Chain A
Amino acid sequence: MAEKLALMRDAYGETLVELGRRNNNIVVLDADLSPSTKTSLFAKEFPERFFDVGVAEANMISIAAGLASVGKIAFASTFAVFGVEKGLNQFKQSVAYPNLNVKLVTTHGGISVGEDGSSHFCIEDLAVMRSLPNVTVIVPADAVETRVATRAIAEHFGPVFMRLSRPKTPLVYDDGYRFMGKELKFEIGKSITLREGRDVTILATGLMVAESLLAVQELAKEGIDAGVINFHTIKPIDREAILRAATSTGALVTAEEHNVIGGLGGAVAEVLVEENPVPMVRVGIQDTYAESGPWRELFAKYGLTSSDIVKAVKKVLKRRGR
């Protein structure tokens, strides 16, 4: 069956419009990237509530803080690398510290940006944002989840960082946030168990959720029964789900389109070492800068495919002792 693809960015832009129709307090900011981030959809319908600040991310984030301090729900968008890194002190000082209702939603996370190359990649956003008190960190797995996540973060009071991707990516969920026919509920901080497994559990986030589901099929051929949990929330991390998986399978693999330092793998390891240190292996970018290229080829070169997950599973099972 051919995989269905969709843009998370479209889902984000369309949901912003939907939210804007329901709530006059929603305002949206962008830093000259609205055609890419799809905040342009909101801009078209609500020009008076949309502020394109030009190529000035620091200013955008502090302006968003000002808007939020007067009661607006401010969504600020640009590419991950610019939003997180050019406005980091602004986000910390003007938004996170005073706990203001600003949603920094960045597209073009990770290396799936592709051809633009390393200057436009962001493989450290989750580590950085996760370390800021008060900040909720969300990474949807596909366009369907982006829709429900966007609604959820608008409802949630407080600073949020949400990472979306550039390319059309495989749909994990069916319309209406359904998986294998089952309708799901998106709750910030509650992971989604997509598949229970007897031998090993793969804890994945973002685009690596689809890769993990492919890995499950490859592993099944070799008689390995792998479970998959989608961690759409990196912070607050779902400790219970991690510990349940640690108890039930005793071997974990994390998978993320992020440096192996400080992201989902880091968050899971922190929980495990303090509570139940079962063997785990991290799939992610191995602390290096990637390069230009089509994103699927980059995923292959930098260790982010289902076969990398399969290898990691075998490694962790060997450590645990099958």
Chain B
Amino acid sequence: MRILEGDGIIKNFGGLAAITNVNFYINQGEILGLIGPNGAGKTTLFNLMSGSLSLTSGVIRFKGENITGLKPHQICKRGMARTFQLVKLFGNMTVLENILLGSLFGTLTGIRQSNALEESLELLEFVGLSGMDGILAKDLTVANQKRLEVARALATKPELLLLDEFMAGLTPTEVSLAIGLIKKIRDKGITVFMIEHVMKAMMSVSDRIIVLHHGEKIAEGIPEEITTNPKVIEIYLGA
């Protein structure tokens, strides 16, 4: 089943075409990768899905429902969560409060405070931050801040999680931990759509990959197809 579908998506910033007629879909339960050179429009596409930018034209359907034009908080409540390329945490609040907020506000049904607290502590453990609940978010290491952002997104009980460069700036050890975490998230039944520059990680974890270049989709397929695609090789190696 397709959990998310984009049809004829166009986004112009004034005279600049950031996304040109892109069609895509994500199957429920898969890990879909999005790659492309800097400025290809990857983050713009995420911003369009999560509602932080409005489309110039096109339609986005989430679980069969047209979500074009909805606000980020409405989209989040319907079950789509995201992280940011540059981590956006509530820096002067504690790790636990960061997650708690996601749990308290992220769902349509609402939740009792005691359940939210319990859930948040579980998520803390799930992402590997147990024992850090009382630390201010800004005092965490970069890797831990990224995990916290994932935990906060997961607290909103998403069915689809958008990860924007979750592994950028991590050490090789941290990258392999991050890959483990993404697989664990998938095993929970959450569909993952991720932007990544760390190619090795991307190839090992994705079920399918989409390649964007200058706002256009130039390739789509399983990792093996992508690595042998001449167009992709050309953009990445400039041959």
The answer on A and B forming one complex is no
A residues at B contact (CB < 8 Å): none
B residues at A contact (CB < 8 Å): none
